[in-house]
Amino acid sequence: MMANAKTAAGAAAARKEAAEVPSWMDISDVTEDTKPDRLETTAVPLGFTSAKVGAGVALCDDSKTAASDGKAVGCQLADVWMAGGRNPLVWTCALVLEEVCADTLVGVVGRNYWPTSWDGEAPLATSSHAVVLRCGDGSVVHKGKGTSFVLRKLPSGSKINLTVDMQKLEMTVELLGALPGQVVSSITVEGIPSGELTLAVGFAAAGQAQRVRLVGCKSEKPEMVLTGKFHKDLWDEDNVIKPLQLNAQNRERGELQAHQNEAAVAASLE
């Protein structure tokens, strides 16, 4: 009985920990009448997809956690696609790297990665559809090619915020410290794949267990709208042209032109 009680208590604690959401992501008191600001922040129920599972990958905690025993190269994608296009959003995901090895990867992939095998034949590190960080040294692999960009080593237990700006096509990764709101290191990578993206975790065949947990996710509108134009045209919805008033052109010519018109009329009557 005592063993069963301890097991039940441990399971309840694990579920509570998995359900915790960072304070910066808590918008439970937001209603349609009390938006936090004009950016319209929305909580997103993000998890790992169960529609397809990578080699050697197991899902648990209601698909909030993806784990591997380290015997095979595999990866796992999230179940929400972040779309660009006409109305792009800024997405922020909070993750805990509970157990990782040097070759564990975390980042984003484009929609074209979905049909691949998600195993050693199509690893994230060499995919042209992926932008990921290597946990061993924090180096960035951009569409299958190594770069000089480095965050820092991401050991087991690291907590990170991964922000995807689908308007600017940028990915920012922040390594959080022990204090609330503390950012130990951050890096922004430009030129991420366009179209639709989702979160991805790559597991290595290192003979070591690996485990990554999704804590929460939110989306919001960009602070600025980038139109790519210097001047508005007739197709812009906010380009409102006020109608001219009657005789507006005559008034715009100024008092001198008005006096000249009056003089011409007076001369014609003589």
CATH value at residue 44: 2.60.120.920
Q: What is the pLDDT along the chain (270 residues), one digit of tens a residue?
A: 444 444 444 444 444 444 444 554 443 344 444 444 445 789 999 999 999 999 999 999 999 999 999 999 999 999 999 998 888 999 999 999 999 999 999 999 999 999 999 999 999 999 999 999 999 999 999 999 999 999 999 999 999 999 999 999 999 999 999 998 899 999 999 999 999 999 999 999 999 999 999 999 999 999 876 555 555 555 556 566 666 565 555 555 566 677 777 777 777 776
Q: Is residue 226 part of a domain?
A: no
pLDDT at position 263 is 78
Determine contact, residues 63/49, Cβ cutoff 8 Å: yes
Q: Is residue 189 part of a domain?
A: yes
Q: Is residue 210 part of a domain?
A: yes
Count of domains observed in the chain: 1
Q: How far apart are CA 52 and CA 83, in angstroms?
A: 20
Q: How far apart are CA 163 and CA 172, in angstroms?
A: 5
Q: Is residue 228 part of a domain?
A: no
Q: Which helix (H) or strand (E) holds 13?
A: helix 2-19
Domain limits for position 214: 16-26+37-220
Q: Is residue 253 part of a domain?
A: no
Q: Is residue 153 part of a domain?
A: yes
pLDDT at position 260 is 77
For residue 4, the one-letter residue type is: N
Pick from 140, 125, 128, 129: which is nearest to 205 by CA? 125
Pick from 64, 92, 60, 16: which is nearest to 215 by CA? 64
Q: How far is CA 260 from CA 61, 246, 251, in A?
A: 85, 20, 13
Q: How far apart are CA 211 and CA 133, in angstroms?
A: 16
Q: Is residue 61 part of a domain?
A: yes
Q: How far is CA 237 from CA 28, 230, 234, in A?
A: 33, 15, 8
Q: Is residue 231 part of a domain?
A: no
Residue 117 DSSP symbol: -
Pick from 205, 212, 195: which is nearest to 133 by CA? 212
